[in-house]
C-alpha cells in the first residue's frame, strides 16, 4: 500500500460480526473451541488476538510487507529480530544507534556469543568494507536517534543481499507515512509504535514487519515462544493512532522544518541536525528515499556543556522535558543524561552526541508558539553563560 490517506483509513476494517465502525477490543485470554483444535481461527490470546491481528495487518500493509507482528514495546520488537541469530553471528549496526538497542545488543546478546560491530553507515562504502562472513544482520536507523543521520537504504540493501545477510531498518523516526524501507530492499522493519504510529504519548508498543512471509512466520514463532505480545487495548490505541498518521506527520514535518530553520539563525546554536536542511550531509538521499523529513530536530549549543543544555531543557513551557517523541505535544530531551546515558561517554561523543545536544520532538502546536518558547529558553542559556564568564573574570 502507498502512503495514500484514503487507502490507509479504509484499510481499518469494519467489524464483520457487528458492523462496528471502530475495531472491537477483544479483551479475552482464550477462545472456546468446538472440538480440540477446531476453532474460529484463535485459540489462546498470546498466540493470536483479533484486535492485535487488525493492528498487525494494517502495519504490514503500510510498510508494504507480508507480515506484521506486534510486541509490547519497540525493544521487544528489536529483541525478536535478534533472536533470529545464533551464537557466533555478527550484527553490523549503525554507530549512532538508539541507546536501548545498544544496551540490548551489548549487555544481553554479547554474552550469548553474538558480536556487534558499530560503523558509520551514512556512507554505504563503510558498510561494504565492514561486512564479514560472520555478518548475518545489518541494522540501521534512518534517520538516527538523535543526530538524524541518513543512510542509503537501497544501497545498503544491495550489500546485504550480495553478502546473504538480512537488512533490518528501524523506521521509527520516519514512519511508513514518509518512508517504506521494504520497498527499497530491506528484509525487516521495526517500529517503536510508542512514537508516531501511536502518536499520542499514551502507550508503549512495537512492531516487526517482514517483506517475506517465511521470515514473518519465524518472527511470529518467536512472538509466541517468547511471549512479549501487545495487549488488545494497546493494539486498539495503535489502530486509532494510525487513522490520523498521515495528517499528523504532514504537520510534524511542516513545524519541524520551520523550527530547524529558526535554529540555524540563532546565535547560541552551534550545529542543527535536520535532514530537511539543504546543508544536511545526506539531504539528497533523504529526499530520494522519503517523502518528508519528519518531526525530530536536534541541535548543539556553542556553550557545549551539560550545564548549558540543562538550563535550556528546564526553561521551556510548551516543549515538555520527557523521554520519548512522536506525540501531539512537543517534547524535548537531553540525550547525554537521558535516552543515551547507557552509552559510554566516549562512544556517545564519537557518534556525534555532544554534551550539549538537545533533541526536540516537534509537536502539533502553532509553530509560532513553539519558536517563541525556544527563543525564551535561549535567554536562560545566555544568562548562564554570562554568569559563568563573570565568575571566571
Ligand atoms: C529509534 C527507536 N527505536 C526503538 C525504540 C524503543 O522503543 P520502546 O521505547 O517502544 O521500547 C526507541 C525508543 O525511544 C527509539 O527511539
Quickly list DSSP for 233-292: HHHHHHHHHHHTHHHHHHHHHHHHHHHHHHHHH-TTEEEEE-TTSTTSTTHHHHHHH-SS
**Pairing assessment for the beta strands 206-210 and 188-192 based on DSSP bridges:** antiparallel
Instruction: Please give the positions annotated as active site.
Output: 46, 98, 170, 195
Report whether residue 90 contacts ligand 1, using a CB cutoff of 6 Å. no
Q: Which ligand 1 atom lies nearest to the CA of residue 339?
A: 14
Q: Whose CA is nearest to atom 14 of ligand 1?
A: 324
Rounded-to-integer distance, Cα 344 and Cα 271, Å: 22
Report whether residue 371 contacts ligand 1, using a CB cutoff of 6 Å. no
pLDDT of residue 96: 87
| Contact call for residues 326 and 195 (beta carbons, < 8 A) | yes
- Give me ligand 1 centre to Cα 374, in Å: 25
Q: Identify the DSSP state of 107.
A: I
Rounded-to-integer distance, Cα 154 and Cα 312, Å: 38
Q: Identify the DSSP state of 38.
A: B
- Give me ligand 1 centre to Cα 339, in Å: 9
Report whether residue 194 contacts ligand 1, using a CB cutoff of 6 Å. yes
In the numeric block, the cell 493512532 is attached to: 241
pLDDT in tens, the chain (393 residues): 446 788 888 889 999 999 999 999 999 999 999 999 999 999 999 999 999 999 999 999 999 999 999 999 999 999 999 999 999 999 999 998 898 999 999 999 999 999 999 999 999 999 999 999 999 999 999 999 999 999 999 999 999 999 999 999 999 999 999 999 999 999 999 999 999 999 999 999 999 999 999 999 999 999 999 999 999 999 999 999 999 999 999 999 999 999 999 999 999 999 999 999 999 999 999 999 999 999 999 999 999 999 999 999 999 999 999 999 999 999 999 999 998 887 788 888 887 899 999 999 999 999 999 999 999 999 988 777 777 777 666
- Give me ligand 1 centre to Cα 234, in Å: 16
Q: Which ligand 1 atom lies nearest to the CA of residue 144?
A: 1
Q: For residue 175, count other CB atoms closer than 10 A to its CB.
A: 29
- Give me ligand 1 centre to Cα 137, in Å: 19
Which pTM was predicted? 0.95
| Contact call for residues 28 and 50 (beta carbons, < 8 A) | no
**Is the peptide bond prior to 216 cis by the omega test (within 30 degrees of 0)?**
no
- Give me ligand 1 centre to Cα 32, in Å: 36
Q: Which of 94, 103, 119, 114 is nearest to 343 (CA)?
A: 103
- 184's grid cell: 527499497
Q: Greatest CA separation found in the chain?
A: 85
SS3 at position 273: strand
- Partners of 360 in beta bridges: 297, 332
Q: Whose CA is nearest to atom 7 of ligand 1?
A: 74
HSE of 331 in the Cβ direction (CA atoms, 13 Å)? 20
Q: Is 76 left (phi over 0), alpha (psi -120 to 50) or beta?
A: alpha
Report whether residue 172 contacts ligand 1, using a CB cutoff of 6 Å. yes
Rounded-to-integer distance, Cα 332 and Cα 359, Å: 6
- 382's grid cell: 545566555
Report whether residue 170 contacts ligand 1, using a CB cutoff of 6 Å. yes
Report whether residue 276 contacts ligand 1, using a CB cutoff of 6 Å. no
Q: Whose CA is nearest to atom 3 of ligand 1?
A: 192
Of 76, 105, 172, best ligand 1 pocket probe by most atoms within 8 Å of the beta carbon: 172
pLDDT of residue 253: 98
| Contact call for residues 189 and 208 (beta carbons, < 8 A) | yes
Sorted by sequence, the CB contacts under 8 Å of residue 273 that are 6+ apart come out as 146, 147, 148, 280, 297, 298, 299, 352
Distances (CA, A) of 219 to 80, 130, 201, 227: 7, 27, 26, 11
- Give me ligand 1 centre to Cα 18, in Å: 36
Report whether residue 98 contacts ligand 1, using a CB cutoff of 6 Å. yes
Provide DSSP, 336-376: TTTTTTTS-HHHHHHTT--TT-EEEE--SS-HHHHHHHHHH
Q: Which of 49, 74, 70, 68 is nearest to 11 (CA)?
A: 68
| Contact call for residues 177 and 184 (beta carbons, < 8 A) | no
Distances (CA, A) of 370 to 1, 290, 375, 377: 34, 25, 9, 11
Report whether residue 73 contacts ligand 1, using a CB cutoff of 6 Å. yes
Report whether residue 206 contacts ligand 1, using a CB cutoff of 6 Å. yes
- 127's grid cell: 558498510
Amino acid at each position: 500500500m502507498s502512503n495514500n490517506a484514503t487507502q490507509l483509513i479504509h484499510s481499518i476494517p469494519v467489524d464483520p460480526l457487528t458492523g462496528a465502525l471502530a475495531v472491537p477490543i477483544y479483551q479475552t485470554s482464550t477462545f472456546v473451541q468446538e472440538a480440540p483444535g477446531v476453532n474460529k481461527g484463535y485459540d489462546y490470546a498470546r498466540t493470536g488476538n483479533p484486535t492485535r491481528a487488525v493492528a498487525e495487518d494494517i502495519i504490514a500493509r503500510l510498510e508494504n510487507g507480508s507480515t506484521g507482528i506486534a510486541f509490547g514495546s519497540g525493544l521487544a520488537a528489536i529483541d525478536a529480530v535478534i533472536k533470529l541469530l545464533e551464537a557466533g553471528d555478527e550484527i553490523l549496526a549503525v554507530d549512532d544507534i538508539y541507546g536501548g538497542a545498544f544496551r540490548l545488543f551489548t549487555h544481553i546478546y554479547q554474552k550469548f556469543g553474538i558480536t556487534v560491530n558499530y560503523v558509520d553507515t551514512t556512507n554505504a562504502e563503510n558498510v561494504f568494507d565492514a561486512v564479514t562472513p560472520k555478518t548475518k544482520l545489518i541494522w540501521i536507523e534512518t534517520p538516527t536517534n538523535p543526530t538524524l543521520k541518513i543512510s542509503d537504504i537501497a544501497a545498503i540493501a544491495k550489500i546485504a543481499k550480495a553478502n546473504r545477510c538480512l537488512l533490518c531498518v528501524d523506521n521509527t523516526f520516519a514512519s511508513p507515512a514518509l518512508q517504506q524501507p521494504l520497498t527499497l530492499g530491506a528484509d525487516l522493519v521495526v517500529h517503536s509504535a510508542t512514537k508516531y504510529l501511536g502518536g499520542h504519548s499514551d502507550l508503549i508498543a512495537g512492531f516487526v514487519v517482514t517483506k517475506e512471509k517465511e521470515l514473518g512466520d519465524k518472527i511470529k514463532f518467536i512472538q509466541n515462544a517468547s511471549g512479549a505480545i501487545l495487549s488488545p487495548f494497546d493494539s486498539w490505541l495503535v489502530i486509532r493512532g494510525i487513522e490520523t498518521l498521515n495528517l499528523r506527520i504532514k504537520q510534524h514535518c511542516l513545524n519541524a522544518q520551520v523550527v530547524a530553520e529558526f535554529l540555524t539563525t540563532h546565535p547560541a546554536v552551534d550545529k542543527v541536525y535536520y535532514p530537511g536542511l539543504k546543508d544536511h550531509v545526506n539531504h539528497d538521499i533523504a529526499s530520494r528515499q522519503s517523502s518528508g523529513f519528519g518531526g525530530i530536530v536536534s541541535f548543539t549549543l556553542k556553550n557545549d556543556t551539560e550545564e548549558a543544555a540543562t538550563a535550556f531543557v528546564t526553561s521551556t513551557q510548551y516543549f515538555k522535558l520527557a523521554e520519548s517523541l512522536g506525540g501531539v505535544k512537543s517534547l524535548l530531551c537531553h540525550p547525554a543524561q537521558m535516552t543515551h546515558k547507557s552509552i559510554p561517554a566516549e562512544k556517545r561523543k564519537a557518534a556525534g552526541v555532544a554534551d550539549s545536544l538537545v533533541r526536540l520532538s516537534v509537536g502539533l502546536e502553532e509553530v509560532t508558539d513553539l519558536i517563541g518558547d525556544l527563543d525564551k529558553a535561549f535567554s536562560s542559556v545566555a544568562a548562564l553563560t554570562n554568569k559563568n564568564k563573570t565568575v571566571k573574570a
